[in-house]
Amino acid sequence: MNFFKKLFGSSTKSDVPAPTPNAAESPEPDAANQAARVATADCLDRHWQSVGTVEKDVLAYLISPSLTGGPYWPSTRQAYRVVRRGNNIVLATDGLSDPFDDAEGLGNGFEMELFLETADIPDNARGTLGDVDPLRHSWAFELLEHVAKTVANAGGITRPLENHGVLSLELPGFSQSHLMSDQLPDLFVTADDAAGVLLGGPAPDFPTRLDDMPLSPVQLVPVVLITAAELEYVRTGGRAAREDLVARLQAAGVGHVSCVYRESVV
């Protein structure tokens, strides 16, 4: 799903090589890398604790997808944090900013993490405090997971965000999804069977730049579900339409929160 090539005319995959095992690596770099990982996790913990109630457990995999043909993240660890904010739930990638496996001097991974905030998760998929596993069965997790795969395949999107501002991303084959097609209203499905999101805006009500990461600053990138009409709007209008849509969502009081039960703003 090379959406970024479609959007920008060429692949945005970074030149950072996929991590490969290096048995000859000395213990000193291993120790430094591990220390950077711990410091990275601590920084993310502090940040998300300032946003809401952070679940101790994460949504993870028994076997890393990178070992079974999935996209590479900076390390083999691929997980998702859960933060509860009143009735809202924030799902956030946890690993896109990890230091690279078996590599030094490359900063905090892709220097970004993705997150999606919503209140509109079915009761059977919300779980309760201390129980995150039901969230695997929510449209929000399925959507974020798909976006994370695309972003990882692109080697991160910090540079496109700098160059193009807020981005839009299409997820084709909506009707073939496992959960989104059952849990999202038709308002969010285009005639050609796609769903859409904004990446990078609108801005949330908490900081999204972490300057105290151990290796390099990290950007937290909001993933915002948009309606079919809004997706058609940005398809034809480009950057100006994306920026206008961000302004409309903010003016409507929607902001960065993915609201399933709302009207289109275009």
Domain map (residue ranges) of the chain? 26-251
pLDDT at 31 (0 to 100)? 86
**Residue 189: both structure tokens together:** 């499905």
pLDDT at 14 (0 to 100)? 39
Judge whether 224 and 256 are in contact, CB under 8 Å: yes
pLDDT at 143 (0 to 100)? 99
For residue 221, what is the enclosing H or E element?
strand 218-226
d(CA 69, CA 72): 9
d(CA 116, CA 47): 15
Distance (Å) of CA 128 to CA 89, 158, 235, 257? 11, 34, 38, 20
Judge whether 121 and 140 are in contact, CB under 8 Å: yes
Report, as ranges of residue numbers, the positions in the chain whose pLDDT lies below 70. Answer: 1-29, 103-105
**Residue 232: both structure tokens together:** 């058609």
